[in-house]
Amino acid sequence: MPDKPLILITGANGFVGRAVRKELEKRDFPYRSVVRSGAQDDELALGDFDEGTDWSNVLDGCSTVLHLAARAHVLHETAPDALEKFRKTNVDGTINLARSAARSGVKRFVYVSSIGVNGVSTDGETRFAEDDPPNPHNAYAWSKWEAECALRNIEAETGLEVVIVRPPLVYGAAAPGNFALMVNALKRGMPLPLASIANLRSLIYIDNLTDALILCALHPSASGNLYLVADSEETSTADLTRHLAVEMGVAARLFPFPASLLRLAGRLTGRANTVERLMDSLRIDSAKIRRELGWRPPYTLREGLVITAKELVRNNEKNI
């Protein structure tokens, strides 16, 4: 039996990185962890990931790079040069790492992008798919799209196998961003004006994303491909909140509120993007990865929420 490939994980101490490491350990796969700062145990700290990062020694012996590190979850970006800030890490840093990987003999580069490259929302029965024209909706999504384009150029120049994965919102007990805001609101018993929202959104449970990423790192047919990944089921924002509250054992204090006024409140408070993500539909067709790689999400949406809620309750009890 051939030796298992050594996988380099960037952003290894982040939400997704920790889950990937846990799953690789379960499968007895060797990996090397790289973080920006605060390295623990066997982690390597390289500072900011930008065009000047020295990857030469870190990549020795690695056959695969799983690039998770990114500038993200800036919920209320106010910098006048927001795109340039995102580019420094998400574009320049990715280009530097990919070229360094190619020079070091790395075979495959798995890049975690964002469904935001496709757009901010879908209408009716429409679902985002891999062959849609890109429509980045903010600075973060633009930086991810620019990085994808740069990686395809590097792939053509060097032969590095590039696999790009675009997930939607990732949920789990340690999820950051808007999911964390929802969890905190439920914990505090806050009334939420979500009862009238009748959208449909694709999400992905953290362990489902982890499974898909490892498959993309290992499957021969993944080379050169782009995949959109999501749980098998869709849900509305209101139903997601209700189901999570039930599993957490707290009340979901949802009340109806006119959609037009909710959108206006979002604009007036500088939270228009957050409100849009709560109200709009975003549906994903993940048939390609299922068809080509045989991927099936290991967990249903309900199972993912049950596990998430149990971890949240357990963590809350530890902090009491």
Catalytic residues: 140
- Chain-centroid distance of CA 130 in Å reads 16
* Other CB atoms within 10 Å distance of the CB of residue 85: 17
Helix H segments across 104-196? 139-158, 177-187
The whole-angstrom separation of Cα 66 and Cα 132 is 24
User: What are the distances in angstroms from CA 252 to CA 183, 195, 201, 310?
Assistant: 11, 10, 19, 17
Quick one: tokens of 215? 């498959």
Are 135 and 118 spatial neighbours (Cβ–Cβ below 8 Å)? yes
As a whole number of angstroms, the distance between CA 17 and CA 3 comes to: 23
How far apart are the C-alpha atoms of 150 and 81, rounded to whole Å? 21
For residue 161, what are the contacts with CB-CB under 8 A and spacing of at least 6?
A: 107, 108, 109, 155, 223, 224
- Closest listed residue to residue 166, CA positions, set 117, 101, 239, 125: 117
Residue with tokens 């060797």: 30
Q: Side chain identity at 155, as an amino acid letter? A: E
Q: Write out the H or E segment, with its range, that includes residue 165.
A: strand 161-166
User: b/e string for 166-178 if b means 16 or more Cβ within 10 A?
Assistant: bbbbbbbbbbebb
